[in-house]
Structure 1
Amino acid sequence: MWRYEDRHRHPAAYYIPRHRNSSLLPMDAAVSATAALLRTCSMTFSREYPDRPVIGVGGVIIDHGRTVLIRRGAEPLLGQWSIPGGTIEVGETLEEAVRRELREETGLEVRVLELIELFDRIDADDSSAAKDKSKPRFHYVIADYLCELVGGEPRAGSDVTDLAFAREDELANFHLTEKATSVLKKAFAMSRARAASR
């Protein structure tokens, strides 16, 4: 079903994918359908003050009770610790994007296991220097995935200033955003559940 709205004088298209056996597609399929729709959009692409939401991915590696964190070298969240990830490229699946981003940012190779959470991050710009007050400065739709480490050597990539390994009880030391902390705690719980079911 398509719905067209005028929000802040900028058109937005919303697609709600249908599945023959249920009212909505499973979350992975819905994310893939949304990503495919946005990739085909002909509007110009800008991460800052975007004309449309930007699709992003994150990969949470849990290995021997530790996760990998990166210190961001670019906005948004410049200088802050975060989950490794980035934006999806045209022609790339979500899982391919996760593997590429983790390779680029951490030097590590992963196997993508399952979706942790799908959420949006909208950062307003309330400063007097804001370019366009009718738009948020950043608007991401992010799919964070649980990943298994399969190889590589840890190193900070070009848009990362530092890389660290942290246990669940050490997360507070990194002053992560509330959302990143929540996603990481879910990932640790999912990893424990997977280990218990083996």
Structure 2
Amino acid sequence: MQCDAGAERQYPRQPVLAVGAAVVRDGKVLLVLRGREPGRGLWSLPGGVVVSGETLRAAVARELREECGIEVAVAETAEVVERMIPDAEGRLQYHYVILDYRARWLRGELTASEEIEDARWVEPDSLNQYRMTRGTADVIRRLLARSRGKVRDLGG
């Protein structure tokens, strides 16, 4: 169920609902290098737009399969993030409400789709080495701190 990345995402009449996932495998977190706007060339959590009639958790699983070639077990919602991105003239070009979930890798080899330029399992201590979309590192840190039951410095 591929989602159309059509013009309705730019200059939307209302916010676009999307999901993302902080996927953990062997203590590492999955980051993807965005291949499309907004945020092209920046590292982020994988995810995408929810399709009408699709549950939020099903959207997370589908996006991970499509973007990265992996199957995941979707856990609880980690964060609700709102992204409003203006164009050069100050008009609202993108407006997303993103529900980021925690997920655990189940199977599959990590591969990048045409929507992303790269995908990597990243040690939490090396997050500061990646140029990420605004707020992504903080979401990851909060998620990992909650999942371990303690706050810990993850570097950066």
Structure 2 counterpart of 1:102, from 39, 61, 64? 64
Distance 2:20 2:86 in 1: 21
Residue 100 of structure 1 aligns to a residue in which SS? helix
Structure 2 counterpart of 1:136, from 81, 88, 92? 92
TM-score, L = length of structure 1 = 0.69
Distance 2:134 2:41 in 1: 16
Moved over 6 A (4+): none
Alpha-carbon displacement from aligned partner over 1:40-85 (angstroms, at most 9, x marks no partner): xxxxx70000011000100111121100111111000011111000
Name stretches of at least 5 consecutive residues in structure 1 with no aligned partner.
1-44, 128-132
Q: Does the 8 Å CA contact 2:39/2:133 hold for their aligned counterparts?
A: no
Alpha-carbon displacement from aligned partner over 1:124-177 (angstroms, at most 9, x marks no partner): 1133xxxxx6x4100000000000111111100120111111111100111113
User: After the TM superposition, which residues 9-48 of structure 1 pair with which residues of structure 2 at under 5 Å, given as runs?
Assistant: 46-48=8-10
Residue 141 of structure 1 aligns to a residue in which SS? strand
Q: Does the 8 Å CA contact 2:112/2:118 hold for their aligned counterparts?
A: yes
Please tell me whether residue 78 in structure 1 is matched to residue 79 in structure 2: no
Q: RMSD of aligned C-alpha atoms?
A: 1.7
Taking only the aligned residue pairs, the percentage that are identical comes to 39
Distance 1:161 1:175 in 2: 14
Higher relative contact order at CA 8 Å, sep ≥6: structure 1 or structure 2? 2
TM-score, L = length of structure 2 = 0.87
Aligned partner of 2:120 in structure 1 is 164
Aligned partner of 1:193 in structure 2 is 149
Aligned partner of 1:114 in structure 2 is 76
Q: How many residues align?
A: 145
